[in-house]
Amino acid sequence: MRMKQHRNRVQRVGLLLFILVLQMLYIPINRSVQGGISTSLPVDTHIPLSPVWAIPYLFSIPWWLGAILWAFFKMEDRRWTQFATCLSLAFAISYAIYIVFPTYVERPDVTGGDALSRLVQLIYGNDRPYNALPSGHTYITLIITLFWFTWKPRGRAVGLAIAIVVLLSTLFTKQHAVLDLLAGVLLACLCWWLSGRMINTPSPAHAVV
């Protein structure tokens, strides 16, 4: 029994380190990708830059980390394994797309000197406009939301509200176009389904509320 518990702990820690390292690979890919095509559609011209949305956009990053650590410490082994597998698949697939099929988002010039405009400038200054499709903010947020729907069903309304705000923030900060967001939604759903098949766990539709 102790050997099994030790093996499970090692596996949990290994999966945590793996997904954290994978997530960090976004930075060198973002720094090195060149060229590619814009994902902007005519509809994106009607979505204005609204600097206040930089707040939830930036807030989502520590929220992801908190959610991953919460899952690491509290999820049962099978659910944690599926969650980590799902994130790993999403990172791997998205990075392959970023490298093989480079895309970028068309950003507006931000010249305001107010605090919110400076936040947008901070985002733009630390994240090049590449790695646009699929939107990482979208697929990471939705993967967390999908798993929390079954793991913490009483918090579904809060989780859904957070997801909607984060997804909208990718559009109103002009960090992503609509097509990027849709691709992120599809990738999250695909990786959730694939990880469920791999780990053989029930879907949210079959969960007991």
Residue range 77-122, pLDDT digits in tens:
999 999 999 999 999 999 999 999 999 999 999 988 899 999 999 9
Q: What is the pTM of this model?
A: 0.92
Q: Sorting pLDDT into bands at 50, 70 and 90, what band is 201? A: low
For residue 197, give both structure tokens.
């098949």
208 has a pLDDT exceeding 70: no
Phi and psi at residue 171, in whole multiples of 5°? -85, -45
Q: Which pair of tokens denotes residue 133?
A: 């499709």
| Residue 27 near residue 127 (C-beta atoms within 8 A) | no
pLDDT of residue 70: 97
Please state, in angstroms and as integers, the Cα–Cα distance from residue 161 to each residue in 26, 32, 68, 107, 145, following that order.
Answer: 26, 34, 19, 26, 10
- Tens of pLDDT, residues 139-197: 999 999 999 999 999 999 999 999 999 999 999 999 999 999 999 999 999 999 999 99
204 token code pair: 């949210």
Q: What is the mean pLDDT of residues 111-137?
A: 95
- Alpha-carbon distance of 45 to 114, in angstroms, equals 24
Please give the biggest Cα pair distance in the chain.
62
| pLDDT (0 to 100) of residue 6 | 66
pLDDT band (50, 70, 90) for residue 205:
very low
pLDDT band at 5 (very low <50, low <70, confident <90, very high): low
Measured CA to CA, the distance from residue 27 to residue 12 in angstroms comes to 25
**Residue 6, class by beta-carbon neighbours within 10 Å (0-12 exposed, 13-18 middle, 19+ buried)?**
exposed
Distance between CA atoms of residues 76 and 99, nearest Å: 35
Reported as a single tens digit per residue, the pLDDT across 36-90 is 999 999 999 999 999 999 999 999 999 999 999 999 999 999 999 999 999 999 9
pLDDT of residue 207: 42
